[in-house]
């Protein structure tokens, strides 16, 4: 397990220099980069996550889908030293998978625990959700008030939202289904926990062609299910979500030179190009097709799904009809700053340009005019196509840290506003 949560504080401080919302890989990356640059910041920041533990949601999702290793190479992780994971894995080389030394899930988990220990962060996460961010623009120094799930509030000079902030992508046909079906018989991949399922003899439809649908298929087949994998286009095989050129100046130089944010958005969409499977997963899929455990339909979509009481009847765009015991949506997630409830009051107080749901932030990933920073997919227009990945967390940290540790940058935009 990751570090145990601290005992719930009865009364928090009334104010803090920095509040970080979320305790996933992005937040951990930011904190280690901050401490590397400025040790004196220790004790001057708070991290909020309902679990009270670092990496709790990440750990849960990897375990629920039984993902054996990461898709990112060993240089991408929360430690500021890119070679720290390789050094940590010297006696565990069998847990680095080809190609490019992809870290095994247990290895990565143990490494992150080591990072937490080395940076003395075990007791750093406060087990409370932030339920509301309220701007206080008229206080002596503009700041943000965070309201917590227990009713307490705390004033923060700066806030970093590092929760991931994505919403499941839901296909249109889902809205036509009448309610009354059991919730576990139609759910998004975010809600599937393979460890709790017995699927012997079941037929399961998985919608979507990304790596997650591959993990779901493999896990369900190992539990005795027959799988139908349906995707609206051809199955794509790629080693990574986006080409490695997006991790450095090769592609990013042109991206940052582009001042038209709609064009930047188009570049991001083109670079990621929807879901894809790794070549290794593609090979596994073909093996299961040969064994008769898996049917793959490309360029095919669900038109209608109807719950018959014990099974689903599904009509497809190619005219065929099937029955299934379950439907799993592996349709990915989308980022839309306007649907992020925590940000509503901030966006009202500090209106900003938004392009297809993505906010236009300043060079430090700040909402212009306000000391609120965004990490993850919501920062894609300033970070690039890998914003939601481990490498994107490092790039985001490198942009945010200077604005927190250098007084000349911190709050400078407020003076000029």
Task: For residues 265 and 357, give the distance between their C-alpha atoms in angstroms, rounded to a whole number.
Answer: 10
Show the domains of the chain with their CATH numbers.
15-167+335-416 (3.50.50.60), 170-238+276-331 (3.50.50.60)
Start-end of H helices in 222-352? 249-257, 261-272, 279-291, 344-349
Q: Which residue has the higher pLDDT, 195 or 142?
A: 195
pLDDT at residue number 222: 98
157 forms bridges with which residues in the sheet?
A: none
In degrees, rounded to 5, the angle at the alpha carbon of residue 368 between the alpha carbons of residues 249 and 46 is 90
When pLDDT is averaged across residues 323-351 and rounded to a whole number, the result is 96
Start-end of H helices in 223-302? 249-257, 261-272, 279-291
Task: For residues 160 and 24, give the distance between their C-alpha atoms in angstroms, rounded to a whole number.
Answer: 12
Task: For residues 359 and 337, give the distance between their C-alpha atoms in angstroms, rounded to a whole number.
Answer: 7
Nearest Cα to 87, choosing from 59, 114, 119, 62?
114
377 is written with which tokens?
A: 């997919």
Q: Alpha carbon 218 to chain centroid distance?
A: 22
- State yes or no: pLDDT of 346 exceeds 90: yes
Task: For residues 338 and 320, give the distance between their C-alpha atoms in angstroms, rounded to a whole number.
Answer: 38
Nearest Cα to 285, choosing from 361, 337, 382, 208?
208
When pLDDT is averaged across residues 395-414 and rounded to a whole number, the result is 80
Task: For residues 2 and 101, give the distance between their C-alpha atoms in angstroms, rounded to a whole number.
Answer: 23
- State yes or no: pLDDT of 366 exceeds 60: yes
Task: For residues 188 and 206, give the distance between their C-alpha atoms in angstroms, rounded to a whole number.
Answer: 10
When pLDDT is averaged across residues 325-347 and rounded to a whole number, the result is 96
> Which tens digit of pLDDT belongs to each residue from 33-56?
999 999 999 999 999 999 999 999
Residues 89 and 95: beta-carbon distance below 8 Å: yes
What letter would DSSP give residue 177?
S
Burial of 20 from C-beta contacts in 10 A (0-12 / 13-18 / 19+): buried
What letter would DSSP give residue 97?
E
390 is written with which tokens?
A: 């481990």
> Which tens digit of pLDDT belongs to each residue from 254-312?
999 999 999 999 999 999 998 999 999 999 999 999 999 999 999 999 999 999 999 99
For the chain, the average pLDDT equals 94
The DSSP-derived string for 398-409 is HHHHHHHH-TTT
pLDDT at residue number 140: 76
> Which tens digit of pLDDT belongs to each residue from 2-43?
444 444 454 677 999 999 999 999 999 999 999 999 999 999
Task: For residues 144 and 203, give the distance between their C-alpha atoms in angstroms, rounded to a whole number.
Answer: 50
pLDDT at residue number 73: 96
Question: Please, which pLDDT band fits residue 410 given cuts at 50, 70 and 90?
Answer: low
* DSSP β-ladder status, 203-207 and 186-188: unpaired
Report the side by side order of strands in the sheet with 302-307.
Answer: 302-307, 312-316, 321-324
Residues 24 and 51: beta-carbon distance below 8 Å: no
């Amino acid at each position: 397990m990751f570090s145990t949560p601290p005992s719930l504080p009865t009364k928090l401080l009334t104010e803090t220099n920095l509040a970080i919302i979320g305790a996933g890989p992005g937040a951990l990356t930011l904190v280690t980069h901050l401490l590397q640059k400025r040790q004196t910041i220790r004790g001057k920041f708070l991290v909020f996550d309902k679990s009270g533990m670092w990496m709790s949601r990440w750990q849960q999702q990897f375990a629920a889908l039984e993902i054996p290793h990461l898709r990112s190479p060993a240089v991408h992780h929360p430690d500021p030293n890119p070679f720290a994971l390789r050094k940590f894995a010297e006696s565990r080389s069998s847990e680095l998978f080809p190609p490019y030394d992809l870290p095994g899930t247990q290895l990565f988990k143990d490494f992150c625990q080591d990072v937490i220990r080395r940076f003395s962060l075990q007791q750093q996460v406060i087990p409370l959700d932030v339920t509301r961010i309220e701007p206080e623009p008229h206080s002596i120094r503009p700041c943000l008030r965070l309201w917590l799930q227990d009713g307490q509030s705390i004033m923060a000079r700066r806030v970093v939202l590092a929760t991931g902030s994505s919403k499941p992508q839901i296909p249109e046909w889902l809205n036509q289904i009448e309610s009354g079906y059991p919730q576990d018989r139609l759910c998004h991949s975010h809600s599937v926990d393979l460890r709790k399922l017995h699927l012997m003899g079941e037929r399961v439809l998985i919608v979507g062609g990304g790596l997650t649908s591959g993990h779901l298929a493999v896990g369900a087949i190992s539990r005795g299910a027959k799988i139908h994998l349906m995707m609206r286009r051809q199955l794509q095989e790629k080693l990574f979500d986006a080409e490695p050129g997006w991790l450095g100046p090769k592609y990013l130089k042109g991206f940052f030179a582009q001042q038209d944010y709609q064009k930047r958005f188009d570049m991001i969409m083109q670079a990621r190009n929807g879901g894809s499977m790794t070549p290794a997963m593609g090979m596994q899929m073909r093996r299961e097709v040969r064994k008769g455990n898996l049917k793959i339909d490309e360029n095919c979509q669900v038109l209608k799904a109807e719950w018959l009481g014990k099974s689903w009847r599904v009509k497809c765009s190619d005219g065929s009809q099937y029955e299934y015991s379950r439907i799993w949506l592996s349709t990915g997630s989308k980022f839309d700053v306007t649907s992020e409830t925590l940000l509503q009051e901030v966006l009202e107080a500090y209106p900003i340009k938004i392009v297809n749901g993505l906010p236009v932030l300043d060079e430090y990933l700040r909402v212009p005019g306000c000391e609120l920073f965004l990490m993850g997919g919501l920062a894609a227009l300033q970070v690039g196509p890998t914003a939601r990945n481990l490498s994107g967390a490092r790039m985001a940290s490198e942009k945010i840290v200077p604005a927190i540790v250098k007084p000349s940058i911190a709050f400078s935009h407020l003076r000029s506003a």
